[in-house]
Chain A
Amino acid sequence: MGRPVPRGGPVIIASAFDLSTNLPLIIGGIALGSIYGIVALGFVLVYKSTGVLNLAQGDFLMLGAYFSVTLLVTNDLGLLVSLPLVAVSMALVGLAIHFSVMRRLVGQPFFSIVLVTIGLGTIIRALLLMRYGPIEKGRLGALPEGSFSLGSTKILWANLIIVGIIGLLLVGFMLFFRFTRMGLHIRAVADNLEAAAAQGIKPDTVYAMTWGVSLALAGIAGLLFGNVNNVTPQASTIGLAAMPAAVIGGLGSLGGAVVGGLIVGVFELLLGYHLGQSWRQPAAYMLLFAMLLVKPTGLFGRRELDRV
């Protein structure tokens, strides 16, 4: 009792537990986190079925964001048309990447392939700079402005729509994985490549499919991200926050990636608001360290067995 309180201390502590300041942050965090979630989902999908750790995922997100600049701002196409267009064009990019590069690297050491994705990311960044220039593009502004009140908290329409779109997307994916032949094949290859191949599943087709799906997810995430943040060439580092999200959820788990994304999004916004904006980027990694200390396999991951 009577311990001296540092100046400014009570204010910070009071605001940190005040629900009316935190609730909008949490809702914004869920919107941001669901974007992270689908980027992480694409990342985990590729990692699980092809074994490639894709460090270019952030650059793919930027590619999607810049595609949407062309569709939404330059051509004024509207959200409902551009969203599928971005997804399809990004899926084609993914197929191109698989058939031109990744397919030839099967069997190479893990580290070489990681470096190849760094090279791919560099190429994409260079092409984006050449096509769109280094000046930032601002927000895309395809989602409605304004907010509505729920009780005493204001909720932005944009956040609600983002969460809605991603929710629909995830339901679609769940159905795809559960009820289609291709989804079954992807799950089989992700689970055990050799057993799947022995059953007559073509790994090559599945790999191509996963790259397509992963990039389509990154593209949709890029479009939505461009509506809540400025589109700049530097923003690709933000896509890196999706990777800790994947590990927090457990690298082997598709659902875990989404949950990890939500946790990272909420934590990042809360930390950024209460401690200052420069804490936003490390936030995800602090969570990552905590998770690796407590449970290295992540929330939903399985322990990998080692064979010498």
Chain B
Amino acid sequence: MSVAPLLRRRSRPHPVLRRVVTDYRDEIGILPTRASRRWAVLVGIIAIVLPWLLSRDLQPPMGFPWSTWSQVINLTLLSALGAAAFNLLVGYTGQLSLAHAGFLTVGAMVVGAAGVKRGWPLPLVLVAGAAVGLIVGVVTGLPALRLRGPYLLLATLGVFFISQLVWKEFLVANFGFVGMQVPQPRLPSWTAGLPLFGTDTGQGLVINSNFRWYILLLPVCGLTILFLSNLTRSREGRAFAAVRERDVSASLLGINVARTKLLAFAVSSAVVALAGALSSYFLGARGEDSFPIQITLNFAIMIVVGGFSSIQGAVFGAMFFHAMPEITKWLRSEAPVLRDVDYLQDHAGEIDLLLFGLLVVVVLMTKPEGLTGLWRDVKGWFTRWPFTS
């Protein structure tokens, strides 16, 4: 897609037309109307103010937990990255994959081999992780050229098990049985001079607190997710959707199906490997059982709850996935009746798991568009307000 339409100056439309979508260019635009631009500004302000508020020592009423949220937000960013990439492949291109936990291990292995063993700087490790992920994604995507539906699903499940095998061998060969310890990353020395975040020591910033992680993760994850959602607006993105609907018909439209599928696998895998590398740094220690199949299933839960076939849905889903356990934890410890039920206290994790399972089933049965659809409905209700039924 050329850049020209984005740069071309348009004559100023009528005030009413500025609030609605009028042509296809608007329809695929990232911020087509005035309202959506205002929302974007609002989200931007929240994204900047929220961590600052979280780093204050506030005491909200009813013992609502405050300081834990900064970690929740970082985990949300990492999961949103993974879930968005998963959604690009599964929801948008319609290629079922259970290999995504394996792509995370690819990122972790690059961190282990390059970052920990050889001491490469963080940005280089991240780029290398994404590059290796790209190659692994192309290789994993090869079965997708011939297989479809259940066969592809099982082939990717096989890729996952093979990645588990490789990961275990890698850990034993390089780090022994204790697992991999990842040191806190240090940014290049020019970051010392940054306003607000910089250090006085003249050395680079060491990412050692949740707040510093946030200022690292927000641009990396934000830009990558923006890239993914821009990709879905381009010709390639429309080709993805066409392949999802019916790959034979897509080929009749002149879409190179093989190339499109491989591209989707490659991009998805590269981004997930990037998320794996980042999360290895963020979590610090990675062992043999750090990447179970449940991680892939969690991505699936996120995109279902958030609403699949939109990148926004993955972000919503990731938010929900990490916020809900915190909220149930708070309810368990503070809410008047729930506080006294021992059963709830003893089975905290299991009940959260149960709620997620129920949620997936209920969402798919009643509102397949997920949170995104709910959000659109609420927005539509207010937009159309006195004419809402």
Contact = CB atoms under 8 A, between A and B. Distances in A.
B246 interface: yes
Contacts of A24: none
Nearest to A119: B360
Contact of A240 (B151, B157, B165, B301): B157
A97 B3 CA distance: 52
A244 B149 contact: no
B350 interface: yes
Contacts of A53: 149-150, 153
B30 interface: no
B147 to A, nearest CB: 7
A288 B158 contact: yes
Nearest to A243: B154
Contact of A244 (B158, B165, B357): B158
Contacts of B349: 129
Interface string A259-283: 0000000000000000000110110
Nearest to A247: B154
A122 B301 contact: yes
A292 interface: yes
Contacts of A240: 157, 293
B296 to A, nearest CB: 9
B353 interface: yes
B154 A115 contact: no
B151 A296 contact: yes
Interface in A53-78: 53
Contact of B300 (A47, A104, A118): A118
Given A114-B153, A126-B351, A292 B248 contact: no
A279 B365 CA distance: 39
B354 interface: yes
A115 B300 contact: yes
Contact of A118 (B158, B169, B360): B360
Chief secondary structure at chain A's binding surface = helix
A254 to B, nearest CB: 16
A206 interface: no
Nearest to B363: A119
Contacts of A308: 246, 248-249, 252
Contacts of B301: 118-119, 122
Contact of B165 (A47, A112, A120, A279): A279
B338 interface: no
Interface string B366-379: 00100000000000
Contacts of A286: 158, 162
A135 interface: no
Contacts of B357: 119-126
A244 B360 CA distance: 26
A278 B151 CA distance: 24
B183 interface: no
Given A119-B364, A129-B353, A247-B150, A111 B168 contact: no
User: Contact size class for A?
Assistant: 35 or more
B96 interface: yes
Given A119-B358, A130-B351, 9 more contacts: A105-B364, A108-B368, A111-B94, A112-B364, A114-B96, A115-B300, A121-B297, A244-B158, A282-B158
B311 to A, nearest CB: 17
Interface centre among B154, B157, B353 (most CB of A within 10 A): B154
Contacts of B14: none
A292 B143 contact: yes
Contacts of B81: none
B60 to A, nearest CB: 30
Interface string A224-267: 00000000000001001001100100010000000000000000
A110 B151 CA distance: 13
Contacts of B90: 111
B155 interface: yes
A18 interface: no
Q: 3 closest A-B pairs (Cβ-Cβ)?
A: A285-B158, A119-B360, A122-B357
Given A244-B158, A292-B143, A125 B353 contact: yes
A292 B161 CA distance: 17
Contacts of B157: 240, 243, 285
B208 to A, nearest CB: 33
B295 interface: no
Given A114-B96, A119-B358, A126-B350, A104 B150 contact: no
B356 A122 contact: yes
A116 B161 contact: no
B293 A237 contact: yes
Contacts of B54: none
A105 B158 CA distance: 28
A124 B297 CA distance: 14
B11 to A, nearest CB: 42
B80 to A, nearest CB: 19
B384 interface: no
B331 to A, nearest CB: 18
Interface string B41-59: 0000000000000000000
A129 B351 CA distance: 9
Contacts of A125: 353, 357
B9 interface: no
Given A129-B350, A129-B353, A288 B297 contact: no
A127 B354 contact: yes
A281 B161 CA distance: 7
